[in-house]
Structures are given as C-alpha cells and as structure tokens.
Structure 1
C-alpha cells in the first residue's frame, strides 16, 4: 500500500513499546526522589499528630536512606529467574508496600 497510511515496519511487527532491561541513571534518580517524597509525606503527617493504621504500618518500613540498592531498584517476582525484576517493569512500583520483600530475597 502506498501513500501516507502505508504500513511501517514497527507497526507491522507488533512490539511498539520497548522496555529496557536495566534502569538508566535518570530513572534511578527519579525513583530515589519518589521514595524520598513518600518519606517526607509520612513524616509530615506523623508530625501533625494524625493516627491511622496505615501510618503505623508505614512507620515500620525502611526509609530511602536505609534501603539497600537491591531493594530500591528491584522487587520480588516469583516468576522471574532469580526471583527479582526491575521496578520499572512492575506496575505501581511507587507504592510504599514495595519496599519490603520476602525473607531471603
């Protein structure tokens, strides 16, 4: 087919959104900034005197400075080889609960 609506090679192959297998420096920086922002919000709400069950659970989680790089940039995945995968490949990786992993992983 000729003209402006002809099929291009990327559109006919199928995989349009490519996911790199490792995180770039800027993605890692943004991940650290997101973790620090969550830490700041948790500490500010606790300082205001609000008491909730989720805040109590969040206070037990490690802060960004206490987390090893392995936990900052990877998350547990029982389907992957080595049981870890990059947080950029998992949906909702900015959630607070992704800071803890099963023992030994």
Structure 2
C-alpha cells in the first residue's frame, strides 16, 4: 500500500527499540565494578578526614554514606539490577532502562519494594 498509511517494519512486527530487555553479564559486571569504586571512594574520603584530625561527625552526608548507605557486597541481586518504578507491573524496573543509568546510584529503594 502506498501513501501515508503504508506499513513499516515496527507496525509489521519486530523490535521497536534496540535496547535489550535484560542486562548482559558484561553490563552487570561493569555495574558491580562501578559500585565497588564508589564504595572505595567513600571509605578513602572518610579515612582521610579522620587522619587530618577533622571531625567526621560534622559531615552528615558523609556519615550517612559511610554507615547507612548499602555497600555493593551487602546488596541483593534484585536491588543491584532493578530499581523501584511505580508504573511497572511489579513496581520494579531494570536499571538499564533508566536514562543515564551509569551515572546514577540505585542503592536506595522504598521499604518493602
């Protein structure tokens, strides 16, 4: 059929998006390594402030990151690779479907999700 309503590949079937529906093992390993680097940087910053003699209690965000922010090895696989999304079927969405997912931290989710 010719004209403005002719069929295209997406309307005839097939993938509309080139994004995979699940993360590859390589993506998962790079994500874990990024999380480990963040954990190491938090520890180095905390220890360097201790060595300089500054009080770490004066930095509430740093205290929060050091003591209550979950570390990569403490997190479950569900928390590592998915994030809360109120519009999804089970309220979880794969991390790689979030825009700029390599630049964000997904370690905090609502309780019981």
TM-score between the two structures when normalised by the length of structure 2: 0.72
What is the SS of the residue equivalent to 2:20?
Answer: coil
Tell me the CA shift for residue 91 of structure 1: 2.5
CA offset digits 1:38-93 (Å, max 9, x no partner): 00000000000164232122121110000000000000000111000111111243
Distance 1:55 1:92, change over 3 A: farther
Aligned residues: 92
Query: Which gives a bigger RCO, structure 1 or 2 (Cα 8 Å, sep 6+)?
Result: 1
Where in structure 2 are there 5+ consecutive unaligned residues?
1-7, 10-14
Q: Which has the larger radius of gyration?
A: 2
- Which structure 2 residues correspond to residues 76-95 of structure 1 after superposition, within 5 A? 76-93=84-101, 94-95=103-104
Distance 1:83 1:16, change over 3 A: closer
What is the SS of the residue equivalent to 1:65?
Answer: helix
Q: Any runs of at least 4 consecutive aligned residues in structure 1 with deviations exceeding 3 A, and if so which?
A: none
Where in structure 1 are there 5+ consecutive unaligned residues?
1-8
Q: Does 1:56 align with 2:56?
A: no
TM-score between the two structures when normalised by the length of structure 1: 0.77
Q: RMSD value over aligned CA atoms?
A: 2.1
